Amino acid sequence: MILGDFEAEELSEAQGARLAALGVATRADILKMTTLASSGHPGGSMSSIDFELVLWGFANCDPKNPFAEGRDRVVISHGHTSPAAYAALAHLGWFDPSLPLLGFRRGGSPFEGHVERDVPGIDWGTGNLGQGLSAAVGFALAARIKGDGAKVFCAMGDGEQQKGQLAEARRYAVKFGLTNLVALLDWNHVQLSGTNDEILKQDIVADWKADGWAVIEIDGHDVRAVYRAVRAALRAAVPTLVACHTVMSKGVPFMEKDGYKWHGAALSPEKCKEALAILGAPDDLDRWTLERKKSAPDWHAALPRRPVETVVLPSSGTPRTYTTEKTSDNRGAFGAALEDLGAVSGGVPMAVLDCDLLKSTKTDLFAAKFPKSFFQGGIAEHHTAVLAGALSVAGIAAWWGEFGMFGVAEAYNQQRLNDVNASNVKLAVTHTGIDVGEDGKTHHSIDYFGTLNSTFGWKVFTPGDPNQTDRITRWMATHRGNHALVMGRSKFPVALKEDGTPFFAGDYAFDPAKADHLRDGSGVSLVCAGNMLPYAMDAWNALAKEGTRVDLVSVAAWSDLSDADLAHIARHGRVVTVEDHNPKTGLGTWIQARLNDLGLPARVKKLGVTFYSSSGPAKELYALMGLDGPAIAAAVRRALASKSGTERSA
Amino acid sequence: MILGDFEAEELSEAQGARLAALGVATRADILKMTTLASSGHPGGSMSSIDFELVLWGFANCDPKNPFAEGRDRVVISHGHTSPAAYAALAHLGWFDPSLPLLGFRRGGSPFEGHVERDVPGIDWGTGNLGQGLSAAVGFALAARIKGDGAKVFCAMGDGEQQKGQLAEARRYAVKFGLTNLVALLDWNHVQLSGTNDEILKQDIVADWKADGWAVIEIDGHDVRAVYRAVRAALRAAVPTLVACHTVMSKGVPFMEKDGYKWHGAALSPEKCKEALAILGAPDDLDRWTLERKKSAPDWHAALPRRPVETVVLPSSGTPRTYTTEKTSDNRGAFGAALEDLGAVSGGVPMAVLDCDLLKSTKTDLFAAKFPKSFFQGGIAEHHTAVLAGALSVAGIAAWWGEFGMFGVAEAYNQQRLNDVNASNVKLAVTHTGIDVGEDGKTHHSIDYFGTLNSTFGWKVFTPGDPNQTDRITRWMATHRGNHALVMGRSKFPVALKEDGTPFFAGDYAFDPAKADHLRDGSGVSLVCAGNMLPYAMDAWNALAKEGTRVDLVSVAAWSDLSDADLAHIARHGRVVTVEDHNPKTGLGTWIQARLNDLGLPARVKKLGVTFYSSSGPAKELYALMGLDGPAIAAAVRRALASKSGTERSA
């Protein structure tokens, strides 16, 4: 509402004149930013700038209160047009226009090559093409859930229309009637290496219409037409695409005629000065060149700091306890805990997302009780991952129940982008490991840690039984961050203390920094995780019958394994790890690395999934893979034998 | 051509009668397989079986010569309908019908829950929905490249139409005019949790038409209509979808009326017998129940063995040598080597794939010289990854030039499925690491090893300079397997011996099992990889000036690091690793794990990318990340100091 809102039928003369002046000032900054950084994307920034000025100028958001609840949001899906976003925001009062000139593509600055959330006005960092619409759908859905009346605008490039994820996002928006969402296409008909038609011919309008959207085509440099179209879109009965026909590098004829040349290349200083003259903008390039040679400003002091916008539940409810009489599978315990959480959410809005697996992941229990907080999106995991991330940063407690292979491996890059955006996704994946059994190798999710551990924020939790599943689910609900709860498919025995009572019950409280010491012994530490605990316990019991008592440790929070636990694990000098994961990038390797970090000399024998397994009952597959009780016990015996061998030779 | 070909205008009476009989026999087997395994997907198998019988019955392929060059291929994209595929193939003579009854979903058997390539007739294993059409496009394109006249059929489910990747594959097929490809939709209107309309309403026909396909709608249980439609599709001017309206669980009324109930659940033995009676099929369920209790047959002896179908080039050409006078970047050296390979391919068909990045990845050099072997597919990485895999198993030397983030992280699950399918993809990714610099954190590919090392086949190569890039590119061309060549963006100095001559030149031959010992010294082993070699060399030179000579080892083939090299690296007891990768899942952790495996007691200090970096010139970012020459030298000094500390205290 800096220039107005979308209530009046037409732009006023004064608003039109203001936008024209801003068009010049921002184009000058776009050119200067990219020339100063000797890199970046001026072409698409100059084709997008006119409609982006209308969006930020008339959206319901306020530079003086940039993180206001219920604000409208503008998602820049073609993140490489960041100079346009920075220039528009700066000249509309969000921050000093000097900042992006000083900071664009400079190490340590938030004015990155692709937009990111440390810049006020930018609510979702992008750069991977084709994902922005999913984030916008998430913000639009969040507004609907909260009933705050917020509108969402998504600016997109034409090249990225080639990404399939857009179709997933389009259909989702239509299913949920998100008419508070308007998508805008920067249709300059040119992408990195040529025209759209040369690269991949596509009927963009037909694609959008096929998925149920309305399409309004306009001249994207006519701000009056943009205003009218966006206003109409906000009043339409279905989500609407405003397809803005634009010209790459619009405003500087010698750039315009070069087609795709200036998509991703900066003008030389001389050419930049020439362009500034053509625009009728002052030439202060040399001044900024000098300024950039000085030490950088304190970026974060110069910009308002984003408050915490993610949410946790006020209560985790009352844990359920499963006993040997009342057995379950981990996913069932998750489903029951999630249902409980719905009842104690205390007004914190929840969204449970599903891709046509609710009965398998057990989110059907929640869905039945809280149908308004359950969102069925069909088989569309790339979209759903981003949706979950955007919902979470918009203040929704977002859970996604999914199979491991599709929630992690298939959507890995989306989960990484969520992490870059400091999201708060609660990902509950079932059917992981070869415990999935009969579904076979395409479904054997044995890389959830290798992938997610390649990010900096995701935590991976593998509960050791239904009771621990219940506790971890509740912990996730009340702690911020991206958390993956990793479960198998099989029925799962309750882990017991030696006295026969449930281990993960009563006073037990989940703490990611504490591994679970189920049995104490000597000689070897047998370390297992998740699906493998019952099999490791089988091995332990068999060994105990032979009079051999070793340590048995279960690790639920792989990422958080503490120094103290590592010292405990290393205490006998011999470790056997057992995981339903590829040990090359799993728990065993992680423990080996951490032991080395700490200078703890224990040797580790790693058992895990070491080839693409066939399809069959889980117990059969564990036996074939050398991961059942007898195989684990044999590995422990070998470790004990090798140890005495070493000790003899020492 | 088991029942005929697609030449006659109509099915004959005899052919129709044969198909009707096969429809009963295969349905009986579908029900028996799933009941015997107590799991699986009978519903979609029974809705797909009639048109699949037409496909396998009339396609140009021969059970007696199942791997014949130029054969037609049938891709089952909805891989969970494997019982239909196994039953159809068995009853058309590909193998004994007893085998899938004995082996379905049984550990060690190739008759998996989702189709896979150890079963003759199955040329592409699937299970991850929405990817089969991309594989079919790959086979169709391979046939065009080879000019062998092969046709390709792709059977798909309706639920998977919700996946965005299909849109990418559709547009690609239209761009390249793949009218030898016919897609068939099992449109039973039901998916796992409900009807398509309940889960996610979609106008499937409009989606296909928008992307330029023709659509023929028919009754998918009328084999005459299926035959006519497929025949017409093979004669159409554009790729054609045959949308087969079908009924889930078709043939058994008590199952049909249950809607989605039998999508993924097996009948009880009693109900199975009831269904067999309804079908008019003999009830021999008890016999197979007993047979399955016996020990399993030797599956692989019972089935013909797939020959090697992937290809390598007959020659790697003459290496190029870059000198300090003639510097380059690694991607430039890759591009030049690829261009050279085009000239020595000796009739082996090549395909170089691009997603609108050819000038950045330097495949433009190849494209200019060999335009017929260059395929521009637009920004569609999920599709392109599968396309590359399918091309490779169809005997094409397939290369894909891509940015690291999009070729690995974005397409990780597709690359994993390629690996499951034993493909031979040559993935050349540039712009990896924070060396990408200004493009920022969304583009900083620092997880290529953590992800690909979570598979069992992919090898990751990080060349240390343009000369090594040249050698590795040529090695990849002449060796089978999935290989990722990982390069940065920056100009890259030529690595030199101490005598000033190029290290990776002359007699140097790339061998994945040999790390490169650039400098010998004492005290510490400084181990680097790829983008970091110039910075590690800076550090080494600075230390040498101080009179400190340490070992300097560059590791190009992370996955293949040999025991001998590890012993060498460990020989001083102190190791500093430097990588343009997240060290949690990268080279440092891998070395720590391997040292532990071997019982080598060296301590490792890991330098790497430890947070999401900002955007800026690579040199700035390396300095901020503690990865430039001075930071590396400081780490080596600390390692040396800690060592003497230890030695003193020892």
Q: Do A210 and B212 touch (CB under 8 A)?
A: no
Q: Which strands form A516-519's sheet, in the order they lie side by side? A: A516-519, A551-554, A525-528, A574-578, A603-607
Give B375's contacts in chain A (Cβ within 8 Å).
none
Question: Do B252 and B206 share a structural domain?
Answer: yes
Residue B281 inside a domain? The answer is: yes
Summarize pLDDT for A401-452 with one digit per residue, the tens: 999 999 999 999 999 999 999 999 999 999 999 999 999 999 999 999 999 9
Mean pLDDT confidence for B254-265: 94
Please tell me the predicted confidence (pLDDT) of residue A643.
77
Name the residue with higher pLDDT: B328 or A20. A20
Measured distance CA(A106)–CA(B621) in Å, rounded: 9
Give A181's contacts (C-beta < 8 A, 6+ positions apart).
A136, A137, A140, A151, A152, A153, A154, A173, A239
Question: Do B408 and B345 share a structural domain?
Answer: yes
What distance in Å separates residue A415's CA from the closest CA in chain B?
Answer: 10
Mean pLDDT confidence for A565-584: 98
Q: Do A202 and B191 touch (CB under 8 A)?
A: no
- Beta bridge pairs of residue A429: A402, A486
Please answer whether residues B129 and A645 qualify as being in contact, where contact means their C-beta atoms are separated by less than 8 angstroms: no
Note the helical H segments in B60-97. 82-91
Closest partner CB to A596 (pick from B130, B453, B595): B595
Backbone angles phi, psi at A391, to 5 degrees: -55, -45
Which of B243, B278, B294 is at the close of a domain? B294
Q: Do B127 and A439 touch (CB under 8 A)?
A: yes
The CA radius of gyration of chain B, in Å to the nearest whole number, is: 28
Measured distance CA(B202)–CA(B160) in Å, rounded: 11
Summarize pLDDT for B538-574 with one digit per residue, the tens: 999 999 999 999 999 999 999 999 999 999 999 999 9
Give B206's contacts in chain A (Cβ within 8 Å).
209-211
Give A113's contacts in chain B (Cβ within 8 Å).
438-440, 443, 615
Summarize pLDDT for A492-516 with one digit per residue, the tens: 999 999 999 999 999 999 999 999 9
Summarize pLDDT for B201-251 with one digit per residue, the tens: 999 999 999 999 999 999 999 999 999 999 999 999 999 999 999 999 999
Closest partner CB to B193 (pick from A159, A356, A606): A356
Q: How remote is the C-alpha of A287 from its chain's centroid?
A: 40
Measured distance CA(A42)–CA(A576) in Å, rounded: 56
Question: Do A598 and A449 share a structural domain?
Answer: no
Give A38's contacts (C-beta < 8 A, 6+ positions apart).
A266
Residue B3 inside a domain? The answer is: no
Question: Do B187 and B74 share a structural domain?
Answer: yes
Please tell me the predicted confidence (pLDDT) of residue A646.
54
How would residue A650 be classed by pLDDT, with cut points 50, 70 and 90?
very low
Summarize pLDDT for A612-643 with one digit per residue, the tens: 999 999 999 999 999 999 999 999 999 999 97
Please tell me the predicted confidence (pLDDT) of residue A649.
41
Q: Do A128 and B203 touch (CB under 8 A)?
A: no
Measured distance CA(A497)–CA(A443) in Å, rounded: 33
CA angle B37, B42, B43 (to 5 degrees): 155
DSSP A188: -
Is the pLDDT confidence value at B302 over 90?
yes
Summarize pLDDT for B43-65 with one digit per residue, the tens: 999 999 999 999 999 999 999 99
Please answer whether residues A116 and A135 qualify as being in contact, where contact means their C-beta atoms are separated by less than 8 angstroms: no
Q: Do A593 and B595 touch (CB under 8 A)?
A: no
- Enter the tokens of residue B317: 């050409």
The region that residue B438 occupies, defined by phi over 0 for left and psi between -120 and 50 for alpha, beta otherwise, is alpha
Which of B235, B270, B294 is at the close of a domain? B294
DSSP B48: H
- Beta bridge pairs of residue A401: A354, A428
What distance in Å separates residue A650's CA from the closest CA in chain B?
Answer: 14
Domain count, chain A: 3
Q: Do A616 and B199 touch (CB under 8 A)?
A: no
What distance in Å separates residue B447's CA from the closest CA in chain A?
Answer: 5
Summarize pLDDT for A95-129 with one digit per residue, the tens: 999 999 999 999 999 999 999 999 999 999 999 99
CA angle B606, B607, B613 (to 5 degrees): 135
Nearest chain B residue (CA) to A124: B442
Give A614's contacts in chain B (Cβ within 8 Å).
107-110, 112
Residue A114 inside a domain? The answer is: yes
Q: Which of B406, B452, B446 is nearest to B429 (CA)?
A: B406
Closest partner CB to B356 (pick from A192, A358, A440): A192
Mean pLDDT confidence for B504-508: 96
Domain that holds residue B215: 13-294
CA angle B642, B624, B635 (to 5 degrees): 15
Question: Do A149 and A41 share a structural domain?
Answer: yes
Looking only at the bridges linking them, the beta strands covering A483-486 and A459-461 are parallel
Q: Do A615 and B455 touch (CB under 8 A)?
A: no
- Enter the tokens of residue B387: 């396309």
Q: ipTM, 2 decimals?
A: 0.97
Question: Do A458 and A343 share a structural domain?
Answer: yes
Which of B426, B458, B492 is at the close of a domain? B492
CA angle B109, B263, A614 (to 5 degrees): 15
- Beta bridge pairs of residue A445: A432
Closest partner CB to A616 (pick from B108, B585, B592): B108
Task: Report helix angle A13-37 to A269-279, nearest 10.
Answer: 170
Residue A218 inside a domain? The answer is: yes
- The helix or strand, by DSSP H or E, that contains position B527, with its residue range, turns out to be strand B525-528
Instruction: Look up tokens 């057990």; give the residue.
Output: A362
How would residue B188 be classed by pLDDT, with cut points 50, 70 and 90?
very high
Question: Do B347 and B276 share a structural domain?
Answer: no
The mean of the pLDDT values for chain A is 96
Looking only at the bridges linking them, the beta strands covering B214-219 and B240-245 are parallel
CB environment B253-275: b (16+ within 10 A), e (fewer): eebbebbbebbbbbbeeebbbbb
Residue A309 inside a domain? The answer is: no
Summarize pLDDT for B80-118 with one digit per residue, the tens: 999 999 999 999 999 999 999 999 999 999 999 999 999
- Enter the tokens of residue B156: 């798909």
Give A112's contacts in chain B (Cβ within 8 Å).
440-441, 614-615
Summarize pLDDT for B444-487 with one digit per residue, the tens: 999 999 999 999 999 999 999 999 999 999 999 999 999 999 99
Q: Is the dihedral of CA A502, A505, A506, A511 positive or negative?
A: positive
Beta strands in A418-529 (DSSP E): 426-430, 459-461, 483-486, 491-492, 516-519, 525-528
Residue B300 inside a domain? The answer is: no
Please answer whether residues B227 and B169 qualify as being in contact, where contact means their C-beta atoms are separated by less than 8 angstroms: no
| Interface with B, mutate which of A198, A200, A591 (most B CBs under 10 A) | A200
Is the pLDDT confidence value at A644 over 80?
no
At A95, which amino acid appears? F
Question: Do A266 and A364 share a structural domain?
Answer: no
Question: Do B572 and B454 share a structural domain?
Answer: no
Closest partner CB to B356 (pick from A130, A174, A199): A199
Closest partner CB to B615 (pick from A105, A126, A405): A105
Q: Do A589 and B588 touch (CB under 8 A)?
A: no
Look at residue B504 and give its three-state secondary structure: coil
How would residue B612 be classed by pLDDT, with cut points 50, 70 and 90?
very high
Instruction: Look up tokens 């999913």; give the residue.
Output: A134
Residue B98 inside a domain? The answer is: yes
Closest partner CB to B379 (pick from A162, A171, A604): A162
Closest partner CB to A203 (pick from B210, B440, B617): B210
Question: Do B245 and B344 share a structural domain?
Answer: no
Backbone angles phi, psi at A581, to 5 degrees: -160, 160
Looking only at the bridges linking them, the beta strands covering A525-528 and A574-578 are parallel
Look at residue A65 and give its three-state secondary structure: coil
| Residue pairs spanning A and B at CB distance below 8 A | 356
Residue B215 inside a domain? The answer is: yes
C-alpha distances (whole Å) from B251 to each of A175, B80, B158, B227 are 33, 19, 19, 20
Please tell me the predicted confidence (pLDDT) of residue A645.
59
Q: Do B379 and A113 touch (CB under 8 A)?
A: no
Measured distance CA(B540)–CA(A389) in Å, rounded: 44
Please answer whether residues B498 and B422 qualify as being in contact, where contact means their C-beta atoms are separated by less than 8 angstroms: no
Q: Is the dihedral of CA B307, B310, B315, B320 positive or negative?
A: negative
Q: Do B379 and A126 touch (CB under 8 A)?
A: no
**For residue B28, how many other CB atoms are within 10 A of its CB?**
24
Give B456's contacts in chain A (Cβ within 8 Å).
582, 610-612
Give B189's contacts (C-beta < 8 A, 6+ positions apart).
B158, B195, B196, B197, B248
Nearest chain B residue (CA) to A414: B410
Q: How remote is the C-alpha of B242 from its chain's centroid?
A: 27
Please state the three-class secondary structure of A511-559 as a single string: CCCCCEEEECCCCCEEEECHHHHHHHHHHHHHHHHCCCCCEEEECCEHH
CA angle A501, A504, A505 (to 5 degrees): 65
Question: Residue A169: which CATH number?
Answer: 3.40.50.970
Question: Do B218 and B159 share a structural domain?
Answer: yes
Beta strands in A26-172 (DSSP E): 73-76, 152-157
- Enter the tokens of residue A213: 């959207």
Q: Do A107 and B201 touch (CB under 8 A)?
A: no
The mean of the pLDDT values for chain B is 96
Please answer whether residues A470 and A413 qualify as being in contact, where contact means their C-beta atoms are separated by less than 8 angstroms: no
Measured distance CA(A197)–CA(A302) in Å, rounded: 43
What distance in Å separates residue B59's CA from the closest CA in chain A?
Answer: 27
Measured distance CA(A470)–CA(A485) in Å, rounded: 11
Give A383's contacts in chain B (Cβ within 8 Å).
164
Question: Do B545 and B486 share a structural domain?
Answer: no
Measured distance CA(A356)–CA(A358) in Å, rounded: 6
How would residue B324 be classed by pLDDT, with cut points 50, 70 and 90?
confident
Summarize pLDDT for B334-386 with one digit per residue, the tens: 999 999 999 999 999 999 999 999 999 999 999 999 999 999 999 999 999 99
